[in-house]
Amino acid sequence: MELQTLYNEYLNIKFKRGLPPVRTKPFEYGLYADDSAGLFLTDHPEETFTNWMYELIPRDPHYISAPDWQPVLADVFQQMDIYDELVLYYLLFTLNTTLSVNSHNAYSTMNDFMKNYSFLQLSHLSEITRLNEEQKHQVRDFFFFYYLYAHPVNEETLYACSFDGQNLVHTKTDIPLERYFTAFHDHYSTNIKEYTEQIAIAPHDIQACKHLTLQLLQCIEGKLAKLNMPEEKGLEAVLRLINDVDQMLQLHDNNKPALFEMMKNFLKEARSTPYRDHCFTTLLQNYASYILFFRFDEIHALVEYFEDTPEWCRTIINKIFMDTIFMERILRQKRIDITTYPNVTQFFEDEAKRIYL
């Protein structure tokens, strides 16, 4: 099973696109009554990719005055202690929830978008050529931070990892996540008889979970071919720029009006479907993440283009600033005082004014 196929099915269910289900064995999606969906093991319809290891969570040493046990994989990773083991478990759980479809409230909707948007962009970065290596490292760290932050994870887990080249490593122990996750799955599939009360799936299912976990990790690390948003009639132009960041950057640098005209044409249609709206949000966040992140003053060109259609300008500006909290962090990192951009802030709606002004 290719990850792209499973990713397409995830988007099909998440945005109710109504496409026929495709073969994703050894996994398949199952729907819950609240419109959420779990990625189940085909041969074990009671177990999900996320929860098969639920009973394997390490004891939390933070609540015990003198913890006296060793990590399960202490013989393999001598540099790891029981606090590290718990963090690595949280990282594995976070990774495995990437393709879960959850029900949402207003707060969790934004977090869900930021996590999955960041995951998609991390898969694209290694193929982008119009950013230099330093720029790619900056946005990579930015996206990985929000991939974890929006899960959400605790602070210890949020800052536990760093990139060493293309490898994500647990910074304190210098253990590559790929090596740890491989050893984790191999240990439990090899010693399954010792864990019959905690594990309800077979060794070959654990290996299938390992394979998918490593694919998700390698996507984040940029070691696999990038994931693409699937095509849909009427969204060809938008999806072409989403799936090829270089093309968006080239169009912006060579012909800004053409990029803005694409945004205008989208708004002209006034047709709304969950997937269509998601694609437009993704395009605008790409504009923020790859252009305004490095050249914030480019926002003047956007505002000037839409000055004759203030309602559309208001829509775009508020989506850029309010659909995620990316712009808050960009302004802080770049030490940009948004109040010095009155041509932008004049379009802020009440909630944006409350947050930014």
Mean pLDDT of 69-88: 97
Domain span at residue 348 reads 236-356
How far is the CA of 311 from the CAs of 258, 279, 298, in angstroms?
Answer: 19, 20, 20
Q: What is the pLDDT of residues 113-142, one digit of tens each?
A: 999 999 999 999 999 999 999 999 999 999
Same domain, yes or no, for 252 and 174? no
- The tokens describing 211, both together, are 């394979």
Percent share of the chain, pLDDT over 90:
94
- Strand bridging mode 167-170 / 175-176: antiparallel
Confidence of residue 209 (pLDDT cuts 50, 70, 90): very high
Same domain, yes or no, for 198 and 242? no
Domain count, the chain: 2
Same domain, yes or no, for 28 and 175? yes
Task: State phi, psi for 241 to the nearest 5 degrees.
Answer: -75, -35
- Give yes or no for residue 149 having a pLDDT over 80: yes
**In whole angstroms, what is the distance from residue 343 CA to residue 109 CA?**
29
Same domain, yes or no, for 187 and 332? no
Confidence of residue 353 (pLDDT cuts 50, 70, 90): very high
List Cβ neighbours of 53 (8 Å cut-off, separation of 6 or more): 92, 93, 188, 199, 209
- Give yes or no for residue 5 having a pLDDT over 90: yes
Domain boundary among 221, 247, 266: 221
Same domain, yes or no, for 129 and 20? yes
Residue-averaged pLDDT of the chain:
96
For residue 19, tell me if it sits in a domain. yes
Confidence of residue 105 (pLDDT cuts 50, 70, 90): confident
Same domain, yes or no, for 209 and 289? no
Task: State phi, psi for 170 to the nearest 5 degrees.
Answer: -75, 110
Confidence of residue 75 (pLDDT cuts 50, 70, 90): very high
**In whole angstroms, what is the distance from residue 200 CA to residue 202 CA?**
7
- Give yes or no for residue 106 having a pLDDT over 90: no
Same domain, yes or no, for 62 and 103? yes
Q: What is the pLDDT of residues 231-287, one digit of tens each?
A: 999 999 999 999 999 999 999 999 999 999 999 999 998 789 999 999 999 999 999
For residue 9, tell me if it sits in a domain. yes
For 40, how many CA atoms within 13 A lie in the half-sphere containing its CB? 13
For residue 230, tell me if it sits in a domain. no
- Identify whether the C-beta of residue 177 lies closer than 8 Å to the C-beta of residue 144: no
Q: 65 vs 164, which has greater pLDDT?
A: 164
Same domain, yes or no, for 107 and 172? yes
Domain boundary among 190, 221, 252: 221
> Nearest Cα to 125, choosing from 112, 144, 100, 110?
144
Mean pLDDT of 298-317: 97
For residue 326, tell me if it sits in a domain. yes
Same domain, yes or no, for 245 and 201? no
Same domain, yes or no, for 181 and 247? no
For residue 228, tell me if it sits in a domain. no
Q: What is the pLDDT of residues 316-346, one digit of tens each?
A: 999 999 999 999 999 999 999 999 999 999 9
- Give yes or no for residue 1 having a pLDDT over 80: no
- Give yes or no for residue 213 having a pLDDT over 90: yes
- Scanning the chain, the segments in alpha helix (DSSP H) are 3-14, 82-96, 106-124, 133-149, 155-158, 177-190, 203-221, 236-243, 245-254, 256-269, 274-287, 299-305, 310-322, 326-334, 342-345, 350-356
Mean pLDDT of 15-40: 94
For residue 30, tell me if it sits in a domain. yes
Task: State phi, psi for 78 to the nearest 5 degrees.
Answer: -65, -25
Confidence of residue 347 (pLDDT cuts 50, 70, 90): very high
For residue 226, tell me if it sits in a domain. no
Same domain, yes or no, for 93 and 121? yes
Same domain, yes or no, for 125 and 8? yes
| pLDDT at position 183 | 98
- Identify whether the C-beta of residue 99 lies closer than 8 Å to the C-beta of residue 39: yes
Percent share of the chain, pLDDT over 70:
100
Rg (CA), the chain: 22
- Give yes or no for residue 103 having a pLDDT over 90: no
